[in-house]
Structure formats: C-alpha cells, structure tokens
Structure 1
Amino acid sequence: MIRKRIHLAAHFPGVNNATVWSDPRSGSQIDFASFVHLARTAERGAFDFFFLAEGLRLREHKGRIHDLDVVGRPESLTVLSALAAVTERIGLAATVNTTFNEPYELARRLSTLDHLSEGRAAWNVVTTNDAFTGENFRRGGYLDHADRYRRAAEFVRLARELWDSWRPDAVAADQETGTFIRPGAVGTVEHRGTHFSIYGRFTLPRSPQGHPVIIQAGDSEEGREFAASTADVIFSRHSTLEDGKAFYADVKRRLAKYGRRPHQLKIMPSATYVLGDTDEEAAEKAAAIRRQQVGPQTAIAFLEQVWGRDMSAYDPEGPLPDVEPDLSTDVVQGRVPIKNRAAVAAKWRALAAEKNLTIRELVIEVTGRQTFIGTPESVARQIDEHVQADAADGFILVPHLTPGGLDEFVDRVVPLLQERGVFRTGYTGSTLREHLEVA
C-alpha cells in the first residue's frame, strides 16, 4: 500500500497564551532574530511553510490586557518579506484579514512577497465580525457571520482575477530594447460586486507559482464550503483522531462539486508536542507547561468568558462556584465568542465534579493544547498514524517557546519520519505549491 506523504509547517507562537513566558529560554516576539531562528529551523527540517498568525487588537479582560498574551507583534507581510532574503526554500504564510483590507492593495502586497521569495508566498484568509476589533478601523465591526464570508469569497475571487490578469508570457526580453511587456498581455480588470468595485490594470506579472497559496481556517458550514471552493490548505482545529477523520471526510467530499480533486486541498490541523526520553517524562513536562500557560488570572478569565459574570472573588485554586452563568453578557473582548455557553458551562461543571478539579485545573483540562506527547519515536508514530488514517494531511506545529521551541522536533522527530519514508529528506521543488503538491 502506498503511504501518504506528511506535510509539516511551523507556527510562530503568539497572539494568545500559548507561549511560556516564564521559561528562561523564552525570547523576543519582536526581534527579527527570533523570526529568523524559527524559520531557518523549519527550513532545516524541510517543512512546507512558516506561518504567522494575526492579532489586530490586543485582547482585554475587564479593561486590562489579557494575562499571558503576546503584547506586541509586527505586521506579518513585512516580517515575511524580510525573511524571504534569509531563507531559500521554505514557504512564507501570512494571516491577513479580508474584513479590514481592500483587494487591490492586498493582492499587490501578497504578489510582491511571492516575487521577492520566488514563489513561496501564502495567504491565510481570515474574517472578523467583532466590533471590538473593528474599533481600530474605519469600517468597524458591522458584518454579520454570513456576510463576512460573502465579502471574503468576493475578495479572494477578485485577488485571483488581478493575479491572473497578466498572461504567463507577458514579460519578454530583447537584446536591443531590454525587458518589455508584450502588447495585449496585461488585461483590464473590471469588477462590480456587492462589496468591491474595481476598474484598471494590475501592476505585477504572475509569480513563479502563478499566485500565492490560499490557506483558510474557518470551521463553520460557510467556512468549510469556502475552503472547498477556494483554499489550497485548511488550518484546522480538529487534531484528535476521530474528530480529524470526520472533518477530513466532510471537507474532502465537498471538493467534487467545484471540479477539484482531494489532493488539491491539504488539511493541516494546528498541533503542539512535548518530547521526553520516556513517555512518563514527556507527560510530566506537558503538565508543567500547561500550568505555565494557564496562570490564576488566565483561569478566571476563561471561566468568566463562559459564565458571563465577574468571578474575581473566587479562588482559582478552589472549587467551581455554585452560581449559574449570565448568558446576557460577554466580559472578555477580542476572543472568538463561545457558542451555546449554557451547554459549555454544564459540561465544565460535570467534568469538575467527576475529576474533583479546581477552577485552574478545570481550565487546564478543557483548554489543553498538547496534541502529541511522548518520546520522539512515539510522537513520530502518532503523527504518521493520523495522516495514514485520513485524519489530516499533515500538521502546523505550534511550539511553546520562542524562538527555539522547534529545534528538538527537527533534530529528533523529523529523522524518524524520514526513516518511515513519509517525510521528504530535502526539497525537490522551489515553490510552495510544489512543496504542498497542490498544483
């Protein structure tokens, strides 16, 4: 039986409380050297791409910056353009919002990165209907859930129309006249849509990979359909085996209606890992990391997000209080809203009672991020099993340390995946589309 090839990407940790700030090895989230270290480590491991998330506003909890969150993040496309000069093969993926940008301007910035990197750019398409985030922008947070996906779909269609408006042979060279544009090779883009109107010519020719890879991260019905019609990669949250298999089957079956084949969309959940010389050592390290990621203030903030009321009087190291949620309010701003908070609260209460958990222990339990825990051999086997079982095509790995958190994985796990024959030993292509095999 032919074994599937595993695809891996590296996520620069940030935007939320994933980073363990208290570890003495934790470095800067702003110093360019941190980005260089992690990107080059991922490239040394022959990863498909390096991924930057986006935070357009710092999360707040009752007027204070959310405990343990990243409090500074440079703009992604600027960072990736700089990284293009100090890396050679790895893809460079930026999260950029379609709610608070314009198609022509963003298409031009992404195409610029694609040219500077010689075909390694990717765009993680996200949307926002959060009025709190919208306060930083003229447009504000006025779009409802369905409308923001309609805007995103029109945005991506228009960006692709701009990227494809130059014929592949548009730019030519002549010994006497130098480089020139062939007559009729640059089309005029005329678009009149619900959200955008454009008339003009794009300023850049097609890049070596045609146009940037499209990544999408939504999980709603609209998000899955948008991904099936448009995306090259899904940044999925379904990292358990059974959830992953159900999501994988659901999205892959949607491709046929858009004339697409299963290999043209890669499903890559976010995943974390903790390595140890024994499984027991890895489990102990994972528990210690989780306690560092969820401090007392963070635990209360998570609880208040579900309960919708001030819980600051309760001890995070004490039991869950016997008080019902207030479903009419939200006290944490800048997070994705929790759907059906009454059901979530009931589930949390049952879990706390079953395992006799304190508030902080409960939050650690329900927000656990460690996907793969064990020895390098065990982690390599787990990753391989997920991919061969059609629960994923690969994973976007999120280390808990900046910038050296990926080093151990590349040194100890990647060689084992290569020995299994399921991960490349080096790059065979030069563009991100070639790495992902989605062309």
Structure 2
Amino acid sequence: MKQVILAAHFPGVNNHTVWSDPASGSQIEFSSFVHLAKTAERGRFDFFFLADGQRLREQRGRIHDLDVVGRPDSLTVLAGLAAVTDHLGLAGTINATFNEPYDLARKLATLDHLSGGRAGWNVVTSSDAFTGENFRRGGYLDHSQRYERAEEFVRTVRELWDSWKADDLDVDPVAGTFAAENAGAFAHQGAFFDIAGRFNVPRAPQGHPLTIQAGDSDGGREFAAANADAIFSRHGTLQDGRAFYRDVKARVAAHGRSPDSLKILPGATFALGDTDAEAQENADHIRRQQVSPQTAILLLEQVWNRDLSSYDPEGPLPEIDPLVSDDSIIKGRTRQTSDPLRTAAQWRALAEEKRLGIRDLIIEVTGRQSFIGSPARVAEEINEFVQSDASDGFILVPHLTPTGLDEFVDKVVPLLQERGVLRAEYETTTLRGHLGLGESV
C-alpha cells in the first residue's frame, strides 16, 4: 500500500486565505510560521511549503489586496524554521528567472546543512516586464524562453552542488589539506549562463535539495518530467487526477527516469465537520468568506480584462465580452485563462443554467480540489486518490493562518495512521528520505 505524502502550505498570499475570520492571525509574524510548521510536524507531514513573489501584484493600478502584508523572502523564513523543527522538510518557491545559479545554489546548500538535509525549492518562472522592473530587466526574457532558462538554471545549480564530492571533505591531519584539490571547482558555459570558479559550500546532506515544479501546462509537465522530484499540480476529480498522473509518469519514463522518482502532489483545501452535512455547511461558509463581493469582482476582472468595479457582485455577468489584449489588467500575476472569450461563454452558460449572479458563479468556478466531510470521509477520500494513482499525496492549503491545519492533524491524521498509509513516527532524517527518493548522487 502506498504511503500518503502530505505537505502544509502556509496560506499567507493565496486566494483561499480568509482574512476576515476572527480566528485569522498574522500573515507575517514569525510565530505564525512556527505554529503551522510545528503543527505539520506533529502530524508527521513530509514538508512545509512556502509561496513567494518578486513584486507586489497590482490590479487596475492598485496593490492586490492579498499583498497588503508584503511578500517576505522564503529562504529567510525557512532558515528560521530550521531551528525550531527537527524532521519537517522545508520547501520554498524560488523564481528561476530573477535569480542567479551561484547565489541560489549557495543559499539552498546552506539551508540543507542548517536543517540536516530538509531543504527543497519550488522552481517557478516569469517572463513579464512588470516583475522585471524590480531587477532592471523589464521584458528582456521572451515568454518562450522561460523554461529554457529554467532548465539550464536547474542544471547549473546541480553542477555547482556536484562540484563538491564526498571525498572532498576528507582532511589530511598532517598536511591539513583537502584530499581533493579540485573541491568546488566548476565551469559552465551555456545559452544563459557562462560562469566558472569555486563553489564555497561543501556538498549538502541530500546531495541535491528536493526540486519541485508547479505547473500543468505542456511545457511545465515536460520540464517537471525531466528535472523535478515533485510536481505541484491542480486537478479536481479522480478521473482528471488519474489522467494527469498517467501523462506525467509516462513523460518521466521517456526521459529515462523511474516513474517513482517524480511525486505528484496536487494542492487541496479541506472542510471538516462531525457529519458530512455539517462539513458541507462549513465549506459553504468558508467559500463565501473567501470570495467577498469585492473579491468576486476582482476575479471576474482577471478574465474580462476590464474595469468592472461598477457592476453589482450579486447581479448578472457583464453583457460585454472580455477584452482580448496583450496588456493585462493584472500585473505580477499569471492570467487565469488562455482563452477568455471561451471561458466567458462557459461561465454565461453555467450562470444561466443555475441562475447564478457574479459572486455565486465565482464561488463555484474558482474552487480548487477540496475534501469536504467528516474526518473519516476525508481520510478515505485522500487515501483513495493515492491508492488509485490519482496522486502521490497532497499539499494542503488551510484557509486560516496559522491555526487552519490544527483540526486536520487532530482528527484526520490519526485515521490515516490507523490505515497504515501515514507514518506514526519519522523514520528518515532528510526530505528526500521522507518521500522515498534517497540522496541524490
């Protein structure tokens, strides 16, 4: 029976965070990160996952409401968490477009040493000039080149990590020198990077810190199949999950890798109750908190690419069509659809069929994979996804910071442990070990 992989996503900067709930705490104080991480470790989760962003997002020229607390640096937070956790993996999103291989390889190797082999990074890309302005690189990278640069970036980082071998740490006690004189020596010449020198951090405990990739596009799947240890995906049903699983695992094999060497981990939310009916009531309440009237209009604007602030959130969809233009109303955020006219037509049909106003429609169409029910039902459904090869586990996104994971750990985790699909105690010391991947050699 397959083991269920679980990760905890800190929900500070995503659409599903409920800011207005009285139980919601700070999105940026270190105590919030500590609480969620320690809760995840108490639940014997595999890793803690932290999002990141290189610029405050904007819509209609105004800072996006989810960014009001700023966007703290992932690696700094994870380094702090390394000191207050013992087993939990620590993974953060890092942009391969606006970083340099040497600097990032050094930081990740350092985190892996500080944590005893628990570091991981989620490789993301960006091609927009808006984000590039923070780096004086506005528009320099064509969209088609983002994965090309990312692939060379990952390859270069791994070359740097591999520049130290195990015997480079052996010291001659008489001469006081390294056994290998070439420790840290590297030279890379490629389309995007031309660097040479000596890497100054000894080989990390994991060899290569865990590499995660987020994306469901064809390019993203291919990139993950060739380079990643895990893929952060989205799919809402068992059928869709199985199709994605088969597709990506086949791509992995085509790259000469074992299908088990890439773990598929969709993001998922959850809502619990003593009964399934109570859980559904809780889920409905949470969704209405997540999609306020203001948020509904903002999300609709992201498809229509127009200022819709004058529309009634409880009223009908606009009769005008989305504005198809290269100039997006949202900045610093990926567009939610590649075909806005088609999406608008689908939403209009759904709204007419179910008699939905704007807010109720947005609530229905923007929900992600969610487990709703009693603890027993949620444990059963999570296990069914994994055992039927619809995923290898889940990255759970609670709706509250920092206590949103507490109920899951208290009520669902014991049931997964009783089934024998989730560890009762940690048996390995590294993040790669937790996921059954072993040290990268």
Common fold, TM-score beyond 0.5?
Answer: yes
Aligned to 2:436: 437
Deviation at 1:69, TM superposition (A): 4.7
Aligned to 2:40: 42
CA distance in 2, matches of 1:64, 1:249: 42
Identity, in percent, stands at: 67
Aligned to 2:12: 14
Deviation at 1:309, TM superposition (A): 2.0
Q: Secondary structure at the residue paired with 2:200?
A: coil
Alignment of 1:120-159 (within 5 A): 120-159=118-157
Q: Secondary structure at the residue paired with 1:135?
A: helix
Residue identity opposite 1:345 in structure 2 = A
CA distance in 1, matches of 2:222, 2:316: 42
Picking from 312, 323, 326, the partner of 1:326 is: 323
Alignment TM-score, normalising by the size of structure 2: 0.96
Picking from 185, 197, 202, the partner of 2:199 is: 202
CA distance in 2, matches of 1:325, 1:165: 51
- The answer to whether the 8 Å contact 2:58/2:330 transfers is yes
1:273 aligns with 2:270: yes
Alignment of 1:182-221 (within 5 A): 182-221=179-218
Picking from 71, 74, 80, the partner of 1:73 is: 71
- The answer to whether the 8 Å contact 2:4/2:383 transfers is yes
Q: Secondary structure at the residue paired with 1:199?
A: strand
Consecutive unaligned residues in structure 1, runs of 5 or more: none
Alignment of 1:247-266 (within 5 A): 247-266=244-263
Residue identity opposite 1:364 in structure 2 = I
Deviation at 1:335, TM superposition (A): 2.1
1:58-97 deviation line (CA, Å, top 9, x unaligned): 2222122223555323201001111111111110001110
Deviation at 1:167, TM superposition (A): 1.2
Aligned to 1:96: 94
Aligned to 2:391: 392
CA distance in 1, matches of 2:240, 2:168: 46
Q: Secondary structure at the residue paired with 1:421?
A: coil
Alignment TM-score, normalising by the size of structure 1: 0.96
Deviation at 1:209, TM superposition (A): 1.2
- The answer to whether the 8 Å contact 1:46/1:425 transfers is yes
- The answer to whether the 8 Å contact 2:11/2:397 transfers is yes
Aligned to 2:313: 316
- The answer to whether the 8 Å contact 2:234/2:368 transfers is no
What is the number of residues matched between the two proteins?
A: 436
Aligned to 2:351: 352
Change in 2 beyond 3 A, CA 1:406/1:112? same
- The answer to whether the 8 Å contact 1:6/1:423 transfers is yes
1:365 aligns with 2:357: no
CA distance in 2, matches of 1:79, 1:420: 34
Residue identity opposite 1:416 in structure 2 = L
Deviation at 1:221, TM superposition (A): 1.4
- The answer to whether the 8 Å contact 1:54/1:96 transfers is yes
Residue identity opposite 1:282 in structure 2 = A
Change in 2 beyond 3 A, CA 1:354/1:142? farther
Consecutive unaligned residues in structure 2, runs of 5 or more: none
Q: Secondary structure at the residue paired with 2:333?
A: coil
Deviation at 1:139, TM superposition (A): 1.7
Residue identity opposite 2:404 in structure 1 = G
Aligned to 1:227: 224
Q: Secondary structure at the residue paired with 1:260?
A: coil
Give me the CA root mean square deviation: 1.5
CA distance in 2, matches of 1:403, 1:284: 22
CA distance in 1, matches of 2:253, 2:332: 36
CA distance in 2, matches of 1:91, 1:346: 43
1:238 aligns with 2:227: no
Deviation at 1:368, TM superposition (A): 1.2
